[in-house]
Chain A
Amino acid sequence: MTGANSFQVSGYGPERAGWTRLFARDSMTRRLDWPILLSATALSLMGALLVYSATRNRTELNQGDPYYFLVRHLLNTGIGIALMIATIWLGHRTLRTAVPVLYGASVFLILLVLTPLGSTINGAHSWIKLPGGFSLQPSEFVKITIILGMAMLLAARVDAGDRPYPDHRIVLQALGLAVVPMLIVMLMPDLGSVMVMVIIVLGVLLASGASNRWVFGLLGAGATGAIAVWQLGILDEYQINRFAAFANPELDPAGVGYNTNQARIAIGSGGLTGSGLFHGSQTTGQFVPEQQTDFVFTVAGEELGFLGAGLIIVLLGVVLWRACRIARETSDLYGTIVAAGIVAWFAFQTFENIGMTLGIMPVTGLPLPFVSYGGSSMFAVWMAVGLLQSITAQRPMSA
């Protein structure tokens, strides 16, 4: 992926076909960012084990089949990888042209959630029930749509060489594009997703080279908004409680602080090497709620210890590190913005999710990328990986 390869543009010639083409020196496979791919795969597989450990005894959830969640997690991973391949196949640039369609579809889906077709899980009305026991969480895909849409708007003039930076009008347009779905998601109310989107918008704006005034202005607006939300009582009680419990987990160990407390006990009791997979008493005893989704990290903490849980952080670190590199090394601003948006997304979700299990962040319902059980999230993060791969693979073609 260094400069040497970048001259082999002719690798797409029609004379090569099949496996030969796939593994040729200048082939697509060689151009992929393997550290990200391998880390993401490793995380997904670890996730499968952890989800299995967390759910094999939860008969009220797994419908009597201990492998129910394991199989589904693996299936989700497979579909996710397929979506990644499709994304690479299409290429992030092709997708740029499809932004209006994607955007329209996303907004339609999240609006659909607000209709009686949507269903509520843990206070958030953010799911669409599908036949066959599947459910869809459109807000996950909105994250991608926002990144692609904003990147398209912000990079268009710059990549065309008209301007060095996006101007105010374009920034306003981009913000408008992001705010519409964010408001809808807020109505669900899925505060966690909104927070992720805010961070994504920030990351996108930063990477676009937009004026500092926008960046700080947005930070200020975010803070004001947060205070307003708090003061105006838009938040539901359960959301306020989560913050209260974060501030003082000992407040009510049987009620609000229960999640936080049990999560911390689970992780803390893991020690250096953990109690061994499937041997965690906190996990087996189901003391931590939502352990296969939002609190999946506690399984790693308890059963795999510092080494195992640390490995998850390291693997996510690899993904983020490589994604940052892709953002920096991509020559077109569109690719940079997309990559940076993904970095902001992954980074925030990782920090928030692990942080809440460690008791340094308030509890919000955000999945840990690749590891948590959940189809929509899995599909979205693998599609994001596909975007990253597309950016790094097609880099030479830019400019």
Chain B
Amino acid sequence: MTNIPETGRSTRVQTRLVVIQILVLSLLGTLGGRLWYLQIRQGDEYAKEASGNHVQQVVQPAVRGSILDARGVALADNETRLVVSASRTDLLKMKDDGKAVLTKLAGVLGMKPQEVMEKVRLCDAETPQPCWNGSPYQPIPITDEATPKQALQIRERAEDFPGITAEPQAVRRYTSPGKANTAQVLGYLSPVTDEEIQKAQDTESPYLRSDQVGRSGLERQYDKALRGKAGVTRYEVDNLGRVIGQAESDAAQPGSNLVTSIDSRVQRVAEYELNEAMKAARKEMDRNTGRTYEADAGAVVVMEAKTGRVVAMASNPTYDPNAWVGGISAADYKKLTGKDSNYPLLNRATQGQAAPGSIFKVVSSAAAVEAGYDFDGRYDCSSSYSVGGQVFKNFESADNGAITIGRALELSCDTVYYRLAHEEWKKDGGMNPKKPNDYFYKAAHQFGLGKETGIDLPNEVTGRVPDRQWKQEYWEANKDAWCKTGKKDGSYVEKISYENCLEGNKMRAGDSINYSIGQGDTLVTPIQMATIYAAISNGGTLYDPTIGKAVVSPDGKQVDEIEPRSHGKLPISKTTLAKMDDALAGVATRGTAAWRFGGWPQDKIPMHAKTGTAEVYGKQTTSWFATYTKDYAIVMTISQGGTGSGASGPAVRNIYDALYGVSDDGAIDKKKALLPEPVKTLPKIKADGTIASPKVSKDPVKDLQPTDGASEAATEQGGNAPADPQDQQATVNPPDTGNRQTRRRKRRARA
């Protein structure tokens, strides 16, 4: 028998079998061709897709660098907290958008459901804080203060809390060492926004979705250095997201530490004294308005005179920077930014500006000398000065006869400056100026006014020098409004508007006269004045104020010191400067500030001071007090606080006492001195990169007070009450030695 069919096997069957065979083989060929197409032709594409499929990035946030004070005490560091977060993506998958879960969660955390919902909603134009302005794909922190018990409850009942996690995380902590708050200087953090991520996308330091960004203060200024670099681990995962291998990983690089020139103890003293001074001012009766002083805001700057480094910077009202940690609550946010908040987030030392009053006279004095007036010449300190029927009174209408410029500084004689400024105004051509010299305005610019000092804090304001150029610009911007409301015979405001409408662009005699004593449209910031008085102390160099002293890499190996930089010299000759120095020492010993420096060891620590009381239309006077020794310059201001020496004097004296360890009777106790001279070196960096920190006292203010802390509160009140009437009088009549003690009296009483 053969293979070839014989009986019954027709060609039809045979043909069909061949067809089947060909069909089958062509089908297999199709498969082979398609396989080749997918694997060889398009293989690379699919390989890429496959790797995208199974690689998940896990971001380990970098630990943010600490902010330390000059001795190495941490002002801001990190702590591990139990953070409860909610994944929006998971919540939105639920039928009720996760409302039930969030309500249950609120119960466990002891929060209001409303509060929890607000935290997880996304910010947009119509949604007020609190809301989440980070990425919607990132877990949103609900609280970072979960107790271990709460975290356990959430974890153990994971099926009841889908999309909710409770994990330990490093969160920012503002330590307030020894009660030094330092809020406005440190600033705060909040989550990065989508916009910022996009903006920084192609730069050297792109943001991660989970990043917190410094929003103000040092946190913002040194954000890049503090932030570090987040670590990214790429895991191979399976279809359920389970990890099956680690592809590659870049370890997180912790942020650098920032050593500042702040001394937390001095900072605490400054904050305390500022607050006490404002509290005291609120009990003072303002003779002009018949009310007690508002003392609504204040600032104090303690600066190293020879370097411009800031040792302490306090701003009041203040806030607790920890309110921002882990997302701010609605109530807190309103407290910090609402209309009635008085804006505690503002750093009044760099962002608050006011007319300087008499502390501006150092500028006018230098300008007069520049204009050719002899510093030691004789100038009439009359009780008033009249120009064109307008009478400019001396402060307290005192008549001191012919005196030198130095003596005019000591006594803060206004009429001497009125006269000099008016003469110069006339020389410059009066209402029709021809190539004016404008010595007084030029000097202000040379002193660094009207522009930023360059301090390493964001959003510093410039203040204002009301020179001709400014007048012109201001008039152009406002003349329409002025001309509309101005009336020749209307109210005071209407009259002013009328005048401004007519000749607001011109420098009038009255403008120059007011300007010469720091009144009128002049605006300065406390940091500007501190820079100027530090320059007078150090021989004339205007330093850029700095708070950052060094950026230390996390391993401690790289230390980038921030060197003091100058932005100019005072326009004063050495001899004039020496005379001005003498005059300012005179202010502290026999002038307007003398009653605040009773018993000061002037021979050992020469003290220089200048008081200022600036008038603000419709408000109470601004208190200014600018002082310096050879080491430090301290400038304090209290808005609506009264006179310079009256309101700010005791506080500044107390800060000096703390710095140098001076007791009320003038004895110097070096052991008690917090900082008899500025810290020149950086704190010790240990081998592991951490920075050594000294022991921190609970409250330096209490340490300085001779009595024990327990009875302090009572004594304070008791001591203050009887002193009140005297204080009030002191404001009216500062040089009266009988009123030398206001708040300082209480100490003596206790001692």
Contact = CB atoms under 8 A, between A and B. Distances in A.
A324 B25 CA distance: 10
A333 B9 contact: yes
A81 interface: no
B14 interface: yes
A310 B13 contact: no
Contact of B24 (A208, A282, A324): A324
Nearest to B55: A281
A272 B53 contact: no
Nearest to B32: A313
B39 A268 contact: yes
A282 B1 contact: no
A362 interface: no
A306 B40 contact: yes
B3 A329 contact: yes
A265 B12 CA distance: 44
B32 to A, nearest CB: 5
B325 interface: no
Interface string A300-333: 0110011001100100110011001001110101
Interface in B6-38: 6-10, 12-14, 16-21, 23-25, 27-28, 30-32, 34-36, 38
B50 interface: yes
A272 B43 contact: yes
A37 to B, nearest CB: 19
B42 interface: yes
A269 B50 CA distance: 6
A347 B24 contact: yes
A321 B49 contact: no
Interface string A341-360: 00110010011001100111
Interface of A, secondary structure class, is helix
Interface stretch (A159-167, A179-187, A217-225): A159-167
Interface stretch (B207-215, B235-243, B512-520): B235-243
Contact of A281 (B34, B36, B54): B54
Interface string A250-275: 00000000000010111111111000
A45 interface: no
Contacts of B43: 268-272
Nearest to B46: A268
Contacts of A305: 39
Contact of A285 (B6, B24, B53): B53
A360 B28 contact: no
A317 B27 CA distance: 10
A244 interface: no
A309 B5 contact: no
Contacts of A267: 35, 38-39, 46
A270 B38 CA distance: 9
Contacts of B244: 57, 284-285
Contact of A350 (B14, B28, B45, B238): B28
A310 B240 contact: no
Contacts of A358: 31, 34-35, 38
Given A207-B16, A209-B16, A399-B7, 16 more contacts: A161-B8, A209-B12, A262-B53, A265-B50, A271-B43, A272-B40, A282-B53, A287-B239, A301-B35, A320-B24, A328-B17, A333-B8, A347-B23, A347-B28, A360-B34, A399-B6
Interface string A1-32: 01100100000000000000000000000000
Contacts, number: 177
A343 to B, nearest CB: 6
Contacts of B46: 264-265, 267-269
Contacts of A268: 38-39, 42-43, 45-47, 49-50
Nearest to A281: B54
A381 to B, nearest CB: 16
B582 to A, nearest CB: 82
Contacts of A340: 17, 20
A336 B20 CA distance: 12
Interface of A: 2-3, 6, 57, 158-159, 161, 164-165, 203, 206-209, 262, 264-272, 281-282, 284-287, 301-302, 305-306, 309-310, 313, 316-317, 320-321, 324, 327-329, 331, 333, 336, 340, 343-344, 347, 350-351, 354-355, 358-360, 396, 398-399
B35 A316 contact: no
Contacts of B288: none
Nearest to B19: A206
5 contacts: A206-B16, A267-B39, A271-B40, A324-B21, A351-B31
A203 B8 CA distance: 19
A266 B21 CA distance: 31
A310 B9 contact: no
Interface centre among B21, B32, B36, B42 (most CB of A within 10 A): B21
B114 interface: no
B236 A164 contact: no
B5 A265 contact: no
B239 A208 contact: no
B13 A271 contact: no
B49 A351 contact: no
A57 B245 CA distance: 13
A226 B39 CA distance: 33
B265 to A, nearest CB: 58
A161 B7 contact: yes
B28 A317 contact: yes
Contacts of A265: 46, 49-50, 53
B17 A331 contact: no
B1 A399 contact: yes
B203 interface: no
B717 interface: no
B51 interface: yes
B20 A207 contact: yes
B3 A343 contact: no
Nearest to A348: B27
B20 A203 contact: yes
Contacts of B237: 285
B2 interface: yes
A271 B31 contact: no
Given A159-B8, A355-B31, A284 B39 contact: no
A306 B49 CA distance: 18
A165 B5 contact: no
A324 B24 CA distance: 9
A310 B12 CA distance: 34
Given A281-B236, A350-B28, A324 B17 contact: yes
B462 to A, nearest CB: 56
A15 to B, nearest CB: 24
Contacts of B39: 267-268, 270-272, 301, 305-306, 309
B659 to A, nearest CB: 66
A343 B20 contact: yes
B13 A333 contact: yes
Nearest to A203: B20
A328 B38 contact: no
A33 B430 CA distance: 123
Contacts of A351: 27-28, 30-31
A269 B47 contact: yes
A282 B9 contact: no
Contact of B28 (A165, A206, A306, A313): A313
B54 A306 contact: no
A285 B55 CA distance: 10
Contacts of B23: 347
A306 B7 CA distance: 46
Contact of B30 (A302, A309, A359, A360): A360
Question: What are the 4 closest A-B residue pairs judged by CB atoms, nearest first?
Answer: A268-B46, A269-B50, A285-B238, A324-B21
Interface string B231-253: 00000111110001100000000
Contacts of A336: 9, 13, 17
Given A313-B35, A329-B3, A358-B38, A344 B28 contact: no
A309 B7 CA distance: 43
A212 to B, nearest CB: 9
B302 to A, nearest CB: 61
